[in-house]
Every structure is written in structure tokens, then in C-alpha cells.
């Protein structure tokens, strides 16, 4: 890939942008980024093939398909399958409930990070909290999983650290942060309402829309992002 700038997108952020009616930001964001926006085959399956079989999600799938036709998103086919399999096996044997290993991550997420590592990408756009926390702060994983499943979770510390160590160089970007960048670049200025606090109203609207449509972010983080962007 040489010195080309690359971002990989997991399915979650694309869905969040579509359902927040903010997917139209991607062409301008890509132009400003000056590089490639990739999805992997497993992510394409989650974004297009599967939702096309469900009436409720068909139009969302068609919007993503158009982004691919227009060259905004490209499908990266050179997935390092062996590494993906190794990472999935390692992650999904790192935690147990009773005598059973927990399947905590899916192929689309792991394909994205494995490909990003393979080409030294600038980052991975990912909203899903589990894998992001596993990469960034694995000490919090036990509490997260116990809160989610309401059962005692037994971690394998060695495997946890082995997994996190392999992915520690990955930069994770959430959809809410992409929206924040779009706001800062003026890509949302057409929506600023009249009045002294127009920018405040717009920013709050798009940040909360992103949260409510799937981005794993706390209320406190939303307020922190808003405060930072209004400086």
C-alpha cells in the first residue's frame, strides 16, 4: 500500500451514520482525509447481503451499496485469513462462564483490525465497545462482561494480554468522533439554526443522534466531546 492513507470501517459506525441520516458526510470526509475508506468482505455481508433479506433494513443496505458503487467505500479483499482465525480463537478463549468459553467478538470486527495491521492503516472506525475495550484497556473486560451477562466471568490473563498486545498499535475511531470532525470542518454548517446558540443546538443534535443510533458512548463522553468542539 506504500504511503497511502487508509481507514477501515466496521459495520457498526456505517449503520450508525445511516440511521442518524449522516451517511452523506462520508464523501466529504474521505476527500478531506485524502486516502482510502475500506470495508472487509465480512463487513460487507453485515451491511448489505444480510439486511437486503429483511424489509426493515433493505434501504439502509441500498445506501451502503451506493457508497461502494460510487467508490466512497471499497471492499478490501486481501484479508489475512490465518491471522483473523488466530485472533478470533485467542479472543474467544480468553473468558469463560462456568466451563464454557465465551464468544465475545465477530469476524467482521477482527477482519477490520487484522487488515488494518496488515497495511499499517491510520485506524479502524469502530463503535462496538467490547473489542475496543479489549484493545485499549483489557483490565475492564471482566466487569463489562459480568455486567452484560449477569454471571461470574473467569478471564485467562495470559491470553487476554497476548490478544491486546498484538493489537495495541491500532487506533480506534468512533462514529461520534467522525461526526465531530465533520462539524469542525464545517460540513454540517447548512444545518445551523438561527439564533445565538445555533452551533450549540446543531452539535448537540448530531452527537446525540449518533449515540442513540448505536455508537457506544456514555452521556458524560457526549458532553465532553461537545465541550471540546465548542471551544
Note whether 2 and 80 are same-domain residues: yes
Note whether 169 and 181 are same-domain residues: no
Note whether 201 and 103 are same-domain residues: no
Note whether 75 and 154 are same-domain residues: yes
pLDDT in tens, 122-181: 999 999 888 888 988 889 999 999 998 899 999 999 999 999 999 989 999 999 999 999
Cell numbers representing residue 84 in the block? 483473523
Note whether 197 and 130 are same-domain residues: no
Give the bridge partners for 173, in sequence order: 125
pLDDT in tens, 56-69: 999 999 999 999 99
Q: How many domains does the chain have?
A: 2
Note whether 111 and 183 are same-domain residues: no
| Final residue before a domain boundary, out of 173, 201, 217 | 173
Note whether 192 and 160 are same-domain residues: no
Contact at 8 Å (CB) between 174 and 215?
A: yes
Contact at 8 Å (CB) between 175 and 210?
A: yes
Contact at 8 Å (CB) between 117 and 8?
A: no
- Find the domain containing 205 and state its range: 176-229
Amino acid at each position: 500500500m506504500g504511503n497511502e492513507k487508509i481507514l477501515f470501517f466496521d459495520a457498526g459506525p456505517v449503520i450508525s451514520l445511516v440511521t442518524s441520516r449522516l451517511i452523506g458526510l462520508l464523501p466529504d470526509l474521505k476527500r478531506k482525509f485524502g486516502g482510502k475508506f475500506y470495508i472487509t468482505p465480512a463487513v460487507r455481508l453485515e451491511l448489505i447481503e444480510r439486511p437486503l433479506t429483511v424489509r426493515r433494513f433493505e434501504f439502509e443496505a441500498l445506501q451502503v451499496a451506493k457508497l461502494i458503487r460510487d467508490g466512497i467505500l471499497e471492499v478490501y479483499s486481501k484479508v489475512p485469513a490465518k491471522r483473523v482465525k488466530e485472533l478470533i480463537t485467542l479472543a474467544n478463549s480468553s473468558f469463560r462462564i462456568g466451563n464454557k468459553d465465551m464468544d465475545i467478538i465477530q469476524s467482521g470486527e477482527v477482519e477490520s483490525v487484522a487488515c488494518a495491521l496488515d497495511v499499517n492503516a491510520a485506524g479502524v472506525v469502530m463503535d462496538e465497545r467490547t473489542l475496543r475495550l479489549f484493545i485499549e484497556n483489557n483490565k475492564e473486560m471482566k466487569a463489562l462482561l459480568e455486567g452484560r451477562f449477569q454471571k461470574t466471568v473467569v478471564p485467562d490473563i495470559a491470553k487476554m494480554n497476548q490478544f491486546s498486545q498484538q493489537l495495541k498499535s491500532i487506533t480506534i475511531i468512533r462514529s461520534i468522533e467522525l461526526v465531530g470532525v465533520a462539524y469542525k470542518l464545517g460540513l454540517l454548517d447548512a444545518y445551523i439554526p438561527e439564533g445565538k446558540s445555533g452551533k450549540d443546538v446543531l452539535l448537540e443534535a448530531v452527537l446525540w443522534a449518533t449515540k442513540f443510533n448505536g455508537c457506544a458512548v456514555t452521556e458524560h463522553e457526549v458532553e465532553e466531546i461537545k465541550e471540546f468542539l465548542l471551544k
